[in-house]
């Protein structure tokens, strides 16, 4: 029997978190295969507030305790997120694994986090002292380094729905099923009145943190497709400099080449 606390409300969970050295435990699919860490567990599956999904002012609020399966089956989950979730592991893992755990694990291989970066999502972090909202890009400080205080829990992902409709998602693993990403890519591009109104691309699993460079993507915004085509080489060159893969099982050169090919294909799909 694993030692731990079993709160039945968020208030109770936060009180326990503030008074004890506890490890938040959602689905346990990462924790159970990781190194043993000192401290007892704070089991979150009995906290109903972490399961809420609702839409407000164009933003979808996803409870951190929602499992991948629950979100795959939810009518409000946008297609891009569903596509990424459907390719995570196998049903048994998707039934237990949560988006809060995916983010809380602090890995750039996290497939739901990739989508949240592409959408410029924010996280709601709560403690007994209150709540704060932090953009996901500011939450990841490095490999396994998160801007999470010892008394805080991730309680929600705030996913802006605008711009999510027109996308490309690619996950490259070692095999078709049950594969952790070796390279993952999500790209959004929206054209309004003949002009690119929004562009965002993200690369996962190749460096310590998911790559999202709004400064580079802004090169395309406000341009017609023809103008963007003229800028394509400069845009690809900027990403070629920005993508610096860490050493992994597959060579850094190979992964960088694949990333640039994915980016090239993404642009071509939109006629750029």
User: In sequence order, which residues have a C-beta less than 8 Å from that of residue 20 and are 6 or more positions away?
Assistant: 5, 39, 40, 42
Q: How far is the CB of 209 from ligand FAD (least distance, A)?
A: 14
Q: How far is the CB of 220 from ligand FAD (least distance, A)?
A: 28
- Structural contact between residues 52 and 187, judged by C-beta atoms closer than 8 angstroms: no
- Considering the complex, state which of residue 100 and residue 198 has its C-beta at the smaller distance from ligand FAD: 100
Q: How far is the CB of 154 from ligand FAD (least distance, A)?
A: 4
- Considering the complex, state which of residue 85 and residue 199 has its C-beta at the smaller distance from ligand FAD: 85
Residue 69 to residues 30, 181, 217, 245, Cα–Cα distance (Å): 16, 19, 32, 31
Residue nearest to ligand FAD (CB): 101
- Considering the complex, state which of residue 51 and residue 232 has its C-beta at the smaller distance from ligand FAD: 51
Q: How far is the CB of 155 from ligand FAD (least distance, A)?
A: 7
Q: How far is the CB of 26 from ligand FAD (least distance, A)?
A: 3
DSSP code at position 53: E
Q: Which residues bind ligand FAD (CB under 6 A)?
A: 23-31, 33, 44, 64, 88-89, 93, 96-98, 100-102, 104-105, 109-111, 153-154, 178, 180
Secondary structure (3-state) at 12: helix
- Considering the complex, state which of residue 172 and residue 225 has its C-beta at the smaller distance from ligand FAD: 172
- Considering the complex, state which of residue 93 and residue 225 has its C-beta at the smaller distance from ligand FAD: 93
- Considering the complex, state which of residue 35 and residue 215 has its C-beta at the smaller distance from ligand FAD: 35
At residue 82's C-alpha, the angle toward residues 79 and 83, to 5°, is: 85
Q: Which parts of the chain are beta strand (E)?
A: 4-5, 22-25, 40-43, 53-56, 59-63, 122-127, 130-135, 140-142, 145-146, 153-160, 167-172, 183-192, 195-204, 211-212
- Structural contact between residues 221 and 196, judged by C-beta atoms closer than 8 angstroms: yes
- Considering the complex, state which of residue 97 and residue 187 has its C-beta at the smaller distance from ligand FAD: 97
Residue 258 to residues 42, 266, 269, Cα–Cα distance (Å): 40, 12, 16
Q: How far is the CB of 77 from ligand FAD (least distance, A)?
A: 15
Q: How far is the CB of 5 from ligand FAD (least distance, A)?
A: 13
Closest CA to 216 of 259, 253, 177, 248: 259
Secondary structure (3-state) at 171: strand
């Amino acid at each position: 029997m694993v030692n731990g606390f079993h709160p039945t409300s968020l208030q109770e969970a936060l009180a326990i978190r503030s008074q004890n050295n506890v490890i938040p435990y959602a689905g346990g699919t990462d924790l159970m295969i990781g190194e043993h860490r000192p401290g007892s567990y704070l089991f979150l599956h009995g906290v109903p507030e972490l399961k809420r999904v609702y839409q407000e002012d164009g933003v979808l609020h996803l409870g951190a305790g929602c499992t991948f399966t629950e979100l795959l089956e939810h009518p409000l989950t946008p297609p891009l997120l569903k596509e990424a979730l459907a390719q995570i592991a196998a049903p048994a893992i998707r039934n237990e694994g949560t988006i809060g755990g995916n983010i809380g694990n602090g890995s750039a291989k996290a497939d739901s986090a990739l989508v949240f970066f592409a959408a410029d999502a924010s996280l709601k972090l709560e403690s007994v002292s209150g709540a704060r909202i932090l953009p996901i890009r500011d939450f990841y400080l490095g490999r396994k380094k998160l801007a999470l205080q010892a008394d805080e829990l991730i309680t929600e992902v705030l996913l802006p729905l605008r711009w999510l409709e027109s996308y490309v998602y690619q996950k490259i693993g070692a095999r078709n099923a049950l594969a952790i990403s070796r390279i993952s890519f999500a790209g959004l591009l929206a054209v309004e009145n003949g002009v690119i109104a929004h562009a965002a691309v993200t690369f996962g699993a190749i460096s310590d943190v998911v790559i999202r460079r709004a400064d580079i993507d802004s090169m395309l915004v406000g341009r017609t497709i023809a103008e963007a085509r003229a800028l394509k080489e400069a845009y690809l060159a900027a990403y070629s400099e920005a993508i610096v893969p860490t050493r992994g099982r597959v060579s850094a050169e190979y992964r960088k080449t694949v990333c640039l090919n994915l980016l090239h294909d993404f642009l071509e799909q939109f006629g750029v």
